[in-house]
A and B are shown apart, each in its own frame.
Chain A
């Protein structure tokens, strides 16, 4: 199968970039606050919503960088 080479990937140094999302979002003391507000939203909420986009962008970067 010509697919087989593409589907069997080894390690790539791009992968640790994905860890950034984990750190950003899994440490509540970082973001458990209301100030500063943005568009009327407390930080707790807009911070996590922004990470949805940021995380998708990071994953997309890693995808493109590791795609054959």
Chain B
């Protein structure tokens, strides 16, 4: 193993151990009979507003947010910033719709979106369609998390060929699956605390370091090639980026909470009130993440500072990988 960054690797392993023990120990947290589906799947529906906030933050702000979107902004420019309006409009939707869904699911003891649809609309085929859509939609999301983890492992300097290259990822995934299987939703909830702290710290650190490297926001934005700085003005006879941008944002916002893991995070809350409180609190995480993203987005090929020894797929990963450690550790399948 050449090029291993031993400090980063040690920190990664440390956090991985912390998270794994936390995941297995979580079975005893707010103890309940884990053979009951709502105990396993929804943590007994007893998470208060703060735990729900941590869990949802951990569910929603993931490798997609941390790697994929900055990479998109880096490559495609301003249009990738749609993720910011996405989250801005997602919260009012969340605020209005989800307490009601929470109440309805609690009253009838529904655990999943499929249960809810069948109960609310009385149609088994619709419920089946919703369930299958949820599973299929989560697969690329899950694949993205694994790719993100693979990139992190690569950035630590661990490399190999053939099966050996896949081994760390397989081990990590097997451990994750083991403690989630045994503890249910309590596992990702307990880990979310660590994960969210790491995300906050990393986002803050990245913004500070990038600012220092460039010397200020004007310098950062001056480094962006001008066609990418803003949305391209649409040509004649087409709405171009002016419709792509808002529809990407609004469409993704509407879809966001239909992912099984979002709904689980919501239904595990103790009360509808906890869900409503979260609609106002979650933007805090979003703010940090937005700052991170636009800082990373400004790195562009000509003249960008290079960081040593980071064999990664894109330059945006290069800057964030030094700090990213285990923030991509899969703490919950599908998040």
Q: Are A21 and B88 within 8 A (Cβ)?
A: yes
State whether the Cβ of B306 lies closer than 8 Å to any Cβ in chain A. no
Closest CB of chain B to A38's CB: distance in Å? 9
- With both beta carbons as reference points, the residue of chain A lying nearest to B219 in the complex is identified as A40
Q: Are B85 and A25 within 8 A (Cβ)?
A: yes
Q: Are A52 and B286 within 8 A (Cβ)?
A: yes
Closest CB of chain A to B23's CB: distance in Å? 30
Q: Are B89 and A45 within 8 A (Cβ)?
A: no
Task: Point out the residue from A4, A19, A37, A48 that lies within 8 Å of B103, measured CB to CB.
Answer: A4
Task: Point out the residue from A32, A34, A52 that lies within 8 Å of B283, measured CB to CB.
Answer: A52
State whether the Cβ of B276 lies closer than 8 Å to any Cβ in chain A. yes
A-B contact count (CB 8 A): 123
Q: How many residues on the B side are at the interface (Cβ–Cβ under 8 A)?
A: 45
Q: Are A55 and B88 within 8 A (Cβ)?
A: yes
Closest CB of chain B to A12's CB: distance in Å? 10
State whether the Cβ of B128 lies closer than 8 Å to any Cβ in chain A. no
Task: Point out the residue from A26, A37, A48, A58 that lies within 8 Å of B81, measured CB to CB.
Answer: A48
CA distance A45 to B217 in the complex (A): 11
Q: How large is the interface on A (under 10, 10 to 19, 20 to 34, 35 or more residues)?
A: 35 or more
Closest CB of chain B to A19's CB: distance in Å? 8
Most buried by B among A3, A18, A37, A45: A45
B positions within 8 Å CB-CB of A: 78, 81, 84-85, 87-89, 91-92, 95-96, 99-100, 102-103, 216-221, 229-231, 233, 241-242, 245-246, 249-250, 271-273, 276-277, 279-280, 283-284, 286-287, 290-291, 294
A positions within 8 Å CB-CB of B: 3-4, 6-9, 15, 18-19, 21-22, 25-29, 32-34, 37, 39-42, 44-45, 48-49, 51-53, 55-56, 58-60, 62-63, 67
14 CB contacts below 8 A, A to B, read A3-B272, A6-B271, A22-B92, A25-B85, A25-B246, A28-B242, A28-B245, A34-B230, A44-B81, A48-B84, A55-B283, A56-B91, A56-B283, A67-B273
